[in-house]
Amino acid sequence: MIIGVDIGGSHISVAEILINETGVSLGRRADDSVDTAQGANDIINDWVNVIREVSRGSRELQIGIAMPGPYDYENGVSLISEQGKMKSLFGLSVKNLLAESLEISPNQISFTNDAEAFLKGEVLAGMGKGFTNTLGLTLGTGLGSAIHIDDVVKDAKLWTAPFRQGIAEDYLGTAWFLGFVQKEFDIKIKGVKDLTSPHFDQKISTQVFEEFGKTLGEFLFPYVIRLQTQLLVLGGKISNASSLFLPYTNDYLSNYGINLSIQKSLLGEDAALIGACESFLKMTINPNEI
């Protein structure tokens, strides 16, 4: 049984990954919230309980886990020390702790960066199928990024890329929306979703998304040129408003002669669950059959 796991700062999603004639799909799944400010043993126990809901006690498992960084992904060791969550796991082999609790071999568990897993999932079974040069961005509280060239998908780490007076994440995450709306219009919002409410001033909303769309285009410009990107796939909660800002992104790039295909994720939150299992899936079937 192949199981995909997507772990965040306060949640865990687990699903059985099924392979059939039509490709890859999700079977039995379970989701839960987890307090990652608690001790290491409690966090591991909470994660294991959700995994067992899907595995139903089986030890014939191949588990792919999408996890935010920093992490030693090859060895499954947490390097998260300053993000405020999962601190109790710092320096520990999460792979070994999970394997011990699930009574399986550590070799049955694989870790992948969450943004990388997102793009791998889209390339395997989503919007990225058929492309050989793809860029993936997850827009949310933070900025996740990954690049796909030929058969290789890697974390692009663009969140720390120098941009304007700071780094990319300063301008392409939720915090930018909150700060911009507060500064320009003296309005406090809780998140991007507020801007899409029919009760919110649509003129202001349009201005905000126009600014964000142009900013995204400005940021993308050098990378699209350098990487010769064929497709950009967007994920994360901010991408749910993509129809409101992508026209401005496309206009910005078009002014420089760039006609880039930009698409919202086909798989959504399921992409990381599938992508985290890429290595196991490729051992099971021919990638051309996916």
CATH number of the domain that residue 29 is part of: 3.30.420.40
User: Does the pLDDT at position 287 exceed 70?
Assistant: no
User: Does the pLDDT at position 289 exceed 60?
Assistant: no
pLDDT for res 84? 67
Helical residues (DSSP H) of 146-241, grouped into ranges = 168-172, 174-185, 192-195, 202-227
Residue 48 lies in a domain: yes
pLDDT for res 57? 86
Indicate whether 249 and 181 sit together in one domain. Answer: yes
Indicate whether 136 and 100 sit together in one domain. Answer: no
Indicate whether 59 and 19 sit together in one domain. Answer: yes
Q: What span, in angstroms and rounded, lies between the C-alpha atoms of 139 and 208?
A: 16
Among 117, 149, 172, give the residue marking a domain's end: 117
Indicate whether 167 and 113 sit together in one domain. Answer: no
Q: Quote the number of domains for the chain.
A: 2
The whole model's pTM is what? 0.91
Indicate whether 179 and 210 sit together in one domain. Answer: yes
pLDDT for res 151? 87
Indicate whether 163 and 186 sit together in one domain. Answer: yes
Residue 141 lies in a domain: yes
Indicate whether 107 and 148 sit together in one domain. Answer: no
User: Does the pLDDT at position 285 exceed 70?
Assistant: no
pLDDT for res 18? 94
Residue 269 lies in a domain: no
Q: What span, in angstroms and rounded, lies between the C-alpha atoms of 78 and 76?
A: 7
Indicate whether 186 and 106 sit together in one domain. Answer: no
The tokens for 135 are 């860029």
Tens of pLDDT, residue by residue over 30-64, are 999 999 989 999 999 999 999 999 999 899 999 99
Mean pLDDT of the chain, nearest integer: 94
Average of per-residue pLDDT across 148-177:
95
Residue 279 lies in a domain: no
**Residues sharing a CB contact under 8 Å with residue 14, sequence separation 6 or more, in sequence order:** 3, 4, 5, 6, 29, 30, 31, 50, 51, 53, 54, 273
Indicate whether 141 and 110 sit together in one domain. Answer: no
Q: What are phi and psi of 11, to 5 degrees?
A: -145, 165
Indicate whether 105 and 16 sit together in one domain. Answer: yes
Banded model confidence at residue 263, pLDDT cuts 50, 70, 90: very high
Residue 271 lies in a domain: no
Residue 287 lies in a domain: no
DSSP code at position 265: -
Could you tell me the residue range of the domain that residue 59 belongs to? 2-117
Among 117, 140, 164, give the residue marking a domain's end: 117
Residue 122 lies in a domain: no
pLDDT for res 85? 82
User: Does the pLDDT at position 290 exceed 90?
Assistant: no
Q: Map residue 165 onto helix, strand or coil.
A: coil
Residue 288 lies in a domain: no
Indicate whether 55 and 167 sit together in one domain. Answer: no
Average of per-residue pLDDT across 75-98:
91
The tokens for 256 are 């420089």
Please name which of 158, 95, 130, 137 lies closest in space to residue 271, comparing C-alpha atoms: 137
Contacts for 143-147 with beta carbons within 8 Å, 24 or more apart? 143/168, 143/169, 143/172, 143/173, 144/114, 144/115, 144/118, 144/235, 144/236, 145/115, 146/113, 146/115, 146/116, 146/118, 146/119, 146/120, 147/119, 147/227
Among 83, 117, 151, give the residue marking a domain's end: 117
